[in-house]
Structure 1
Amino acid sequence: MSNKTYNDLICETSELIGETTQTDEVVFVTGAAERSVFQPLLSELRIRYTVLLCRLDTIYDQLLQPQKRIIVRRLLEACLGRLLEIKHDLVELYLSDYTYDDDEALQKLQVTPQEAEPCIPQYFIREREQELEDRRKFIIDTLTKLGHETSKPPSLILTEQQAILIIQSHERARQGRLRGQFMKEIRLLKEKGRDQKGEMSATAATAIQRVWRGFITRRMTKRRKREEQLLIGMELPPYTESQAIKKAEKVKESRRTLQNKLEIEYHEALVRIEKRLHSQHKAKISERIGDELRRWILEYYERTNRLPEFPSEEAGGSRTMFSRQGTGVESELSKSSPVSSKESKKSKESKDKKSSKAEDNKIKDEMEDLQNYKCTSSAFLQDIISANEEFEDIWKYKDDDYEHHEKYYKDIIESDKMVKIEQEIRNNVDEMMRSELELLQAAYDRDRSHKGKKAKKPQKKVKRGGKKSKKKKEKDLTPDRTTESLFEELVANGIIRPYPIVKIDDYIGEKNFVGSELRSQGREPTPCLGDIRQLIKEYCILPLGSEHVRTNAPQIRSVLITGPSGSGKKMLIHAICSEVGAMLFDLTPANIVGKYPGKSGLIMLIHLVMKVSRLLQPSVIWMDDAEKPFVKKIPKTDKTDPKRLKKDLVKIIKGICPEDRVLFIGTSRIPWEAEQKLLFQCYSKVIQIPRADYGSISLMWRTKLHKAGALSQRLDVSCLSRVSDSYTIGSLLSVLDDVLTTKRRLQLRIRALTAQEIAVQLSFRDPVYAEHDVAAEMWWSKTPLERRRQKVLQRLEELQQENEEKALK
């Protein structure tokens, strides 16, 4: 697409942002209201911000103008942060982690359920490509030096016996081909002896013609039928990479290259223009500010007969002197008095209410408290509004033909730099004026002492900082070591490990399309795999990608992912790390056994992990078999010492600050075997991967078989999805790999794949048994959020019954 396309797109997006922020402000104007009022409103806002996120990501990825990209980045991060805030409001509103899209909101905004799922901004990875490549290369080189990896893949290294078997099979195949060629020549010699003249009778000719015409007609009919089915979408076309998509990606890549070039030019211009403005205006600005300050000090002295106190740099410097009126004592009292009066009024009112309340009013108030809700204040909404207003004021009607369309604007740089230069010069002048005022005050005090007046003792400057935080700084156990040496040590010990690059969208699964309707009927829907994918994005990926969002959005320090073996827990861990370019720290009990022994070694391990994870943000600290540290009784066969980190896990998780882009993730197959109280102390969010539903399994079979070229009319995908209902997606993928061998792939053109072949391989796999589902369901009912939801529902029912009984009396 052209530059004009993206400029028009951002103007349209700016109008949409204005509409969305107007709707969003209604949430805070409403205040506390019934939950039914906020449910459709927040659902609509979530979809609106999701659409805006996708649009702004596309614009930021392809826009060339470097100054305009800065404000687009502000809008992108602010919309992302507001989306996460709305997500947490919806969680508190429904008391469930899963948010299902309202059909009315989707229809109103003309958005499909797939488009209502948040996208991952591309700049998370694209702006750090070189850094990530260097890290991955360093890890691989370190492991190669230590002998953990070989230069060749393990599959290419054969034993002598394997090599002999391969040679024998190829020799037998060669002999078979030769024998077939000999038999063909013998058959041709026999047929040649039957008719030496090579003439055929008329009856034979017409028979051949009839057979051939029938074959041609059937082939044409089959082709027309296939073309018709492709046209109406009843059959998928062969899986091939589209040339149009390839061409579009090349265009995008060329724009990114040009974008980087313009970005470099812009940063060079910033330095060059700042130097020029500094040399031209430094003396004039310094003289002007100095004259203004001296004149103001003189006027102040003539009016009050004393010298003013010069504010510190933290208090605003000389800028605050011109706006200051009086001593500020009265203003402080006036500020404090209304608060105290309000507090006293509130206390009196609360006492009066408590004394006058009856039992009926108590029940009514409790019901209102349970049914009402008030949204939390937003840290991003005002930023969205101000950034959008700035865009409309400066950029919306800017001439795009300025300096070959997309170069930087000098006037904007000069105006921004002049503000910065003036502030720097003002700080220098303020420092000079402070020293002058001290000299004047000293001379003034000497004069007064000569006249017999006692000089005032200089008052000690009191720092007006806030209370000192009681939190002690952690002692650095490795102050003299570099980040590279710590990084190499953790790689050598297997704590930092490489991971395969996986996209979160590769986690195939459909969403629950009737979840909103079921909730309106008072039933809690069961999430699908698509809902799990969306939840991983909202809780794990999107907050880690941006430092600004992570600092100001609701914080999630730890997440527990549970599910049966093969449900995709490790894939999700790899996808989280891949999407944000995070470092993966493996604290699985089996991985740290024998490493850093003793109490001092454990302290060093925790220190290294926390220090390096902060230095190399974003980071993911992963623990597989997360239930093992909290198991009541460890089996004698388990030699991994899983309780080694039991006491320190809470300390590790609580040590993650809001500004740290660090996330602790645990994965578990059997979380019900742990002590639940200790488990839920560690993990603030719990994500349980449910059994794969029919829609997700069917989508997986169609997608994978289509890519493999094995999807045909003879293969009943619906029947196959029903048969594989009780298996995990990981088991089904391993079955497909076993069925579609290299030999079988070559035979697909002449012999289509059937469901029977897959069903035979499925019979050798273990399904997810009903006992596991029952145990998982029982455990889920004991999770903190689910218990809280059940208590609220139970209390509402009790209050309704009490009201009905009193009404009958």
Structure 2
Amino acid sequence: VINIITYNKVWTDAQKDLDIQLQREREEFLQPEKDRVKVFRMLVTSYIKYMQIFRNLEMAYDQLIHRQKRTVIRQVLDGVMGRILEVKKEMVGLDNSEFHYIDKILEDLKLLPEVIEVPIPRYFIKEKLEVLEQREKILDQILLDAGLQTQKPLKAMTFEEAIKVIQVAERARQGRCRAAFMKQIYLEERKDRQTKLQVQMGPGPDDAATCIQKVWRGYIQRKKTEKMRDEEMIFLGMSLPPHLMATSILQMHAEQVNTLQGEVQERQEEVFIKDQLREMEGLSIKETLQDQIGQCLTECRHIIGKFPDYPTEEAGGSMAMLSLKTPEQLPTTTYFLPPEADRETNGFCNFFPLSSVFWITAVWQNRDEGWDFLQDHDPELIKEEKREEDTNNVHCLCVFLYSCKNWPWHRPYLLPDSLLSVLCFNTCLAEHLSEVWWQNRRLRKIQLLMSLICRTIDSLYRELAEEGLLIKAKTVNLSDYVGEYSYLGTTLRQADTEPMPSLADVRQLIALYGILPLGSQTVHEKAPLVKALLLAGPTGVGKKMLVHAICTETGANLFNLSASNIAGKYPGKNGVQMMLHMVLKVAKQLQPSVVWIGDTEKIFSKAVPKAEEENNPKQLEKFLPKFLKALKAQDRVLLVGTTNRPFDANLKPFCKVYQKIILIPRPDYASRFVLWKHIILQNGGEITNLLNISCLAKVSDGFTQGHIVQAVQAVLSELRLLQMTRKPLKTAEFMTSLARQDPVYKEEEETFKVTLRAMLTGCISSSPAMSLPRHI
């Protein structure tokens, strides 16, 4: 029996906090506010509160088993994630920066920086784990057959090594036998001595110990019997001991929760209830809705003198007509649109979206669940859900019949116009291609695209993997990107010095713009859409690692369209076009997907070096804008570019492609301190008093994470690890290895700042919605 009281309380508290937060927003942002600092503080406070609610809802959703509760929590969870992205957008527009320094606000709220760390919902992976495992097996097999991946060979053992292993095993066996023989002799001698002492002094300590053991074992067995009786009564539903009420589900193993969630999903009560409800109430629902729609149309004609235009199915159909609107409002074309907040023009509160596209419900508040012992489903809620489905079906039928009012009634078998036009187009296209197929160059392109339409996703997937365009992402979590929060941001700004962003800030942006939208379909469709993301920074700061982390956390496919990777594989303009169509089709069908372009500045380079002319790196320049235009809000596909030389690119087309530009700087002192300790321990080292981590963090100023990793791996060889016990690590060992590498000089960092400022200035001039980050 699993106690769900703890996580029910977590969910309840999160819902209460959410209601309080929404009410506070209605009150605070009701009037225009001209004080920029005050508005920004209100936005940051809302952002922090939503992040706390997000963390609690994710915990409750991951641990609860009741599937209808999980459905409601999922809606609220996705809504909170989307709301966080909405507030983040307003913060960026108000602060003119992707990076915010809120250490003073956290201090006033008495909170730690960990509060604003974005949690990654575990359902991104857990709910499609089987699909991801199966896809990984298929990809491994494709790469193995194509020779792009080899199985790890078993290291053959030499004859001398085999003899040595046998000798070691035999000597160990003989040692164990000798030890057992000597132990037996010792026990026999001890027993003889104890027997002599018992004859002389009576019962000894062993007899007393035996007596105590008997009493203790009897007590333990009685407690076990009582516990088994209590569990049996709980299973039969006849009692619930008080101490079990306080038992936390935190001790329950995660696999047990997943198993129970799976069993709940497999139950078939929903199908039975749906059929029963349709049989009993289906006719009544149809008649009621038809009467309501007829009455609505009649009243509208009586008031305005004509029937209103019937809304299309995409606009909501008859459901839009039956919403809470007056007959005077029905003829307008905006009755089905969501209300927008009135925005003043003289206050900074205009930046805050009062009418969020994410809505939140609370179905389970004050609901009595004492009868539900299994905590798997509520049949009444299923009935309500199926009634709504039947109602929607009737609305769709009404839309179809109303749209057919102008058809010839003697031909009721005709298909709708949209489907009929598709059939006519296919027929005409086939006839036209059969006549002039080889006479027109443009039709050859159509032949190319038609060949893709006829191919299955499996065949396209295999071809992309065999060509090396679909690669296997490395298993890297976002938490593996180690970096500390910047505690001096506000202080430096007060001293008229703009601080550089910290690695924790970069990690937060990757989660907000990359992971959350890709992981949730609802968030991707309704939140501010980000199609392309550029990671710019010196070599070794972890740009590729972040790309693989996005794929790992969301279970996304990874396509590598770097210039060096696609060179010579699909030559010509038609070949590049076909390649992008293949990638787009597979990425959309098997979403989420990440399209990665490494060294993306080469595509937009001002002048191609002679050494790279054969690779033709600029062949994607004209096609990338069209590729992004083909991505819609429902397509969870993200284009990620990485560059360590953005100053080599032509900035105007560069800025048009990448919507978000994130600067990844070299680590600051706090991040270097954490990095040295983490990497040394990760590579098997031990930290003692002879190893001064603070000194290493100080002298490594200007070096990147990659430099630190190389220095640690160079020192901690297999031989050095064997010497660790008698020769502890010293600071000078790492300094020597670090001195052999070239740091990121100040001139290069300044060049990054100037280039990115120019890029973002170009983005502002072409897109007024974007703002210039202050950290550049």
Equivalent residue letter for 1:784: L
Identify the residue that residue 179 of structure 1 maps to in structure 2.
none
In structure 2, C-alpha distance between the alignment counterparts of 1:295 and 1:590, rounded to whole Å: 65
**Displacement after TM superposition at 1:777 (Å):** 2.6
> What pairs up with 1:66-465 in 2 under 5 angstroms?
66-108=67-109, 110-152=110-152, 251-265=253-267, 268-283=268-283, 314=313, 316-317=317-318, 372=348, 374-377=350-353, 380=356, 383-384=359-360, 387=361, 391=362, 394-422=363-391, 424=393
1:207 counterpart residue number: none
Shift of the alpha carbon at 1:510?
0.8
Distance 1:738 1:281 in 2: 74
Q: Distance in 1 between matches of 2:674 and 2:584?
A: 41
Choose 255-264 or 99-108, whichever is displaced more: 99-108
- The residue that corresponds to 1:758 in the other structure is 734
The residue that corresponds to 2:635 in the other structure is 660
The counterpart of 1:478, out of the listed 452, 459, 463, is: 452
CA distance in 1, matches of 2:477, 2:50: 22
Cα 1:331–1:119 shift into 2, 3 Å:
closer
**Contact 1:34/1:373, CA 8 A, preserved across alignment:** no
* Equivalent residue number for residue 452 of structure 1: none
Distance 1:533 1:524 in 2: 20
For residue 651 of structure 1, report the CA deviation from its aligned partner: 2.0
Q: In the alignment, which residue of structure 1 is the partner of 2:5?
A: 4
Post-superposition offset of 1:725: 1.9
Tell me the distance in 1 between the aligned counterparts of 2:72 and 2:624.
40
Q: Deviations over 1:386-440 (max 9, x none)?
A: x1xxx2xx4122233323151211122223323433554677699899999999x
Partner of 1:682: 657
Residues 274 and 386 of structure 2 are in contact (CA less than 8 Å); yes or no, is this contact kept in structure 1? Answer: yes
Partner of 1:739 in structure 2?
Answer: 715
In 1, distance between residues paired with 2:604 and 2:677? 41
**Please, what TM-score do these two structures have when normalized by structure 1?**
0.71
Which deviations, in whole Å up to 9, do the C-alpha atoms of 1:241-280 show, x marking residues without a partner?
A: xxxxxx9686122112112211222xx2211101112223
Partner of 1:44: 45
From 617, 636, 643, the equivalent of 2:591 is 617
Deviation sequence 1:167-202 (CA, Å, 0-9, x none)? 79999x99xxxxxxxxxxxxxxxxxxxxxxxxxxxx
Identity %: 30
Within-5 A mapping of 1:631-650: 631-638=605-612, 639-650=614-625
Q: Is the contact made by 2:103 and 2:487 (CA closer than 8 Å) also made in structure 1?
A: no
Shift of 1:99: 1.8
Q: Deviation per CA, 1:511-531, whole angstroms, max 9, x where unpaired? A: 112223444555422111111
Give the aligned partner of residue 686 of structure 2.
710
C-alpha deviation, 1:323, in angstroms: 9.6
* CA pair 598-331 structure 1, distance change in 2 beyond 3 A: closer
Mapping 1:594-605, distance limit 5 Å:
594-605=568-579
Shift of 1:490: 0.4
**CA pair 325-261 structure 1, distance change in 2 beyond 3 A:** closer
Structure 1 residue identity aligned to 2:135: R
What displacement does 1:281 show? 3.2
- Matching of residue 579 in structure 1 with residue 553 in structure 2: yes
Q: Does the 8 A contact of 2:99 with 2:505 survive in 1?
A: yes
2-structure distance, mates of 1:683, 1:514? 30
Once residues 524 and 399 of structure 1 are traced to their aligned partners in structure 2, the CA distance between those partners, rounded to angstroms, is: 55
Is residue 317–residue 399 contact of structure 2 (8 Å, CA) maintained in 1? no
CA change 1:111–1:476 in 2 (3 A) is farther
Whole-angstrom distance in 1 between the partners of 2:651 and 2:288: 69
Q: Give the 3-state SS of the residue equivalent to 2:113 in structure 1.
A: coil
> 1:322 & 1:167 partners in 2: Cα distance?
82
* Alpha-carbon distance, 1:539 to partner: 1.6
- Please tell me whether residue 772 in structure 1 is matched to residue 748 in structure 2: yes
In structure 2, distance between residues paired with 1:676 and 1:433: 53
Pairwise CA distance, 1:731? 1.7
Larger CA deviation: 557-566 vs 418-427: 418-427
Residues 516 and 78 of structure 1: CA distance in aligned 2, closer, same or farther (over 3 Å): farther
Unaligned runs of 5+ in 2: 169-248, 336-343, 411-415, 419-445, 769-776
**Contact preservation (8 Å) 2:651, 2:762:** no
In 2, distance between residues paired with 1:433 and 1:598?
Answer: 50
Cα distance, 1:558 vs structure 2: 1.1
Q: Distance in 2 between matches of 1:548 and 1:269?
A: 27
- Counterpart residue identity of residue 413, structure 1: I
Closer/same/farther in 2, CA of residues 659 and 437 from structure 1, 3 Å limit:
closer
C-alpha change, 1:248 and 1:59, in structure 2 (3 Å) is closer
- d(CA) in 2 for partners of 1:259 and 1:333? 44
Any idea what SS the aligned residue of 2:114 has?
Answer: coil
Deviations 1:70-94 (A, max 9, x none): 1111111011001011111111111
SS of equivalent to 1:665: strand
> Cα deviation per residue 1:545-585 (whole Å; 9 max; x = unaligned)?
11111111111111111112111111011001111111111
In structure 2, give the amino acid aligned to 1:591. N
Do 1:142 and 1:488's aligned partners in 2 also have CA atoms closer than 8 Å? yes
Cα deviations by residue, 1:711-755 (Å, 9 ceiling, x for unpaired) = 111111111112222221112112212222233223222221111
Cα distance in 1, alignment partners of residues 319 and 509 from structure 2: 50
Cα separation, partners in 2 of 1:559 and 1:423, compared to 1, 3 Å: closer
Distance 1:83 1:508 in 2: 23
Quickly say closer, same or farther: Cα 1:103–1:260, change in 2 above 3 A.
Answer: farther
Return the offset for 1:313. Answer: 7.8
User: Could you say what secondary structure the match of 2:115 adopts?
Assistant: coil
Identify if the C-alpha distance between structure 1 residues 107 and 373 changes in structure 2 by more than 3 Å, giving closer, same or farther.
closer
Q: Are residue 569 (structure 1) and residue 543 (structure 2) matched?
A: yes
Q: What does residue 451 of structure 1 align with?
A: none
Superposition deviation, residue 111 in structure 1: 2.5
Judged with a 3 Å threshold, the aligned counterparts in structure 2 of structure 1 residues 734 and 313 are, in CA distance, closer, same or farther, namely closer
In structure 1, C-alpha distance between the alignment counterparts of 2:297 and 2:729, rounded to whole Å = 96
Cα distance change, pair 60–379 in 1 and its aligned pair in 2 (3 A): farther
Give the secondary structure class of the aligned counterpart of 2:133.
Answer: helix
Partner Cα distance (1:786, 1:516) in 2: 28
SS of the residue corresponding to residue 359 of structure 2 reads: helix
Distance 1:462 1:149 in 2: 51
Is the 1:310–1:434 contact (alpha carbons within 8 Å) kept by the matching residues of 2?
A: no
- C-alpha distance in 1 between matches for 2:490 and 2:549: 28
Partner Cα separation in structure 2 for residue 333 and residue 287 of structure 1: 27
Greater radius of gyration (CA): 1
Structure 1 pair 711/479, CA: closer, same or farther in 2 (3 Å)? same
The count of residues paired between Structure 1 and Structure 2 equals: 637
8 Å CA contact 2:26–2:354 kept in 1: the answer is: no
Q: Quote the Cα distance in structure 2 between the aligned partners of 1:73 and 1:14.
A: 12
Task: Quote the Cα distance in structure 1 between the aligned partners of 2:669 and 2:660.
Answer: 27
Change (3 A) 1:313 1:617: closer
CA-based RMSD of the aligned residues comes to: 4.2
Residue 700 (structure 1) aligns with = 675
Q: Hey, what's the Cα distance between the residues in 2 that align with 1:333 and 1:586?
A: 45
> Does the 8 Å CA contact 2:555/2:592 hold for their aligned counterparts?
yes
For 1:678, give the aligned amino acid.
P
How far residue 62 of structure 1 moved from its aligned partner, in angstroms, is 0.4
Deviation at 1:757, TM superposition (A): 1.6
